[in-house]
Amino acid sequence: MDVSGYQVLLDPERGPVFVPLAATGIGQQGATNPHLKRGTVAPMQAGGAWSPLGTGMNDAVYVLAVSNGAVYAGGYFTTAGGVAANRIAKWTPPAPLKGDVDGDGDVDLIDARLCYQIVLGVITGSPAQREQCDVDNDGDVDMDDATAIAEFIIDMRTTLP
């Protein structure tokens, strides 16, 4: 595990906590995370909001680390996400969903419009958004992609290429 960029902080409720520098806010003065309670791991999103990560653990989490895109947790728990765990667990984020241009976890009407806006140049879109919009994986974002998403959301097609 690559531990560079991490620090050990003293959390007033849980004791020593191993966290990425400037990542979670755990133990930092004034920082609170209502989701990070006993048995729960919660990453902070880019926008600054906390959200639960999976269904959590059945006992305390004392250590968090990120390595190669995976989150490792250590503590007293014996189950993690409903799966038996011997006090250590690894969570790998799911691959980005093709067509999920706004990155909210599903492909819907908003994604169809965002992709169409990128096609027309109304918006540029981030590299990640353009990648998600390119549902036919042909290396560009065009009407084929916007149409495919539009058809997908009304079940005219069951999969995206």
Does position 59 interact with another protein (CB under 8 A)? The reply is no
Rule CB under 8 A: is residue 97 a binding residue for another protein? no
Q: Say how many C-beta atoms besides its own lie within 10 A of residue 88's C-beta.
A: 12
Q: Is the CB of residue 133 less than 8 Å from the CB of residue 120? A: no
Query: Any contact of residue 2 with another protein (CB under 8 A)?
Result: no
Contact string (CB under 8 A) for another protein, positions 121-150, x = contact: -x-----------------------xx--x
Helices 143-153 and 109-120, interaxial angle, to 10°?
170
Angle, CA 116 vertex, CA 112 and CA 117 arms, to 5°: 115
List the beta strands (DSSP E) in 12-87: 15-20, 61-67, 70-75, 79-80, 83-84
Q: Residue 96 CB, nearest distance to another protein (Å)?
A: 18
What is the distance between the alpha carbons of residues 141 and 149, in angstroms, rounded to a whole number? 12
Size of the site for another protein (CB under 8 A): 19
Per CB under 8 A, the list member of 14, 110, 142, 144 interacting with another protein is: 110
Answer positive or negative: Cα dihedral of 144, 146, 148, 150: negative
Contact with another protein (CB under 8 A): which of 85, 89, 116, 135? 116
* Site for another protein contains 155 (CB under 8 A): yes
Kindly state the greatest CA–CA separation across the chain: 54
Nearer to another protein, 13 or 140 (CB): 140
- Among positions 63, 103, 117, 130, the unique one binding another protein when judged by CB under 8 A: 117
Binding another protein by CB under 8 A: which of 58, 131, 153, 161?
Answer: 153
The residues that touch another protein, with contacts defined as CB under 8 A, are 102, 108-110, 112-114, 116-117, 120, 122, 146-147, 150-151, 153-156
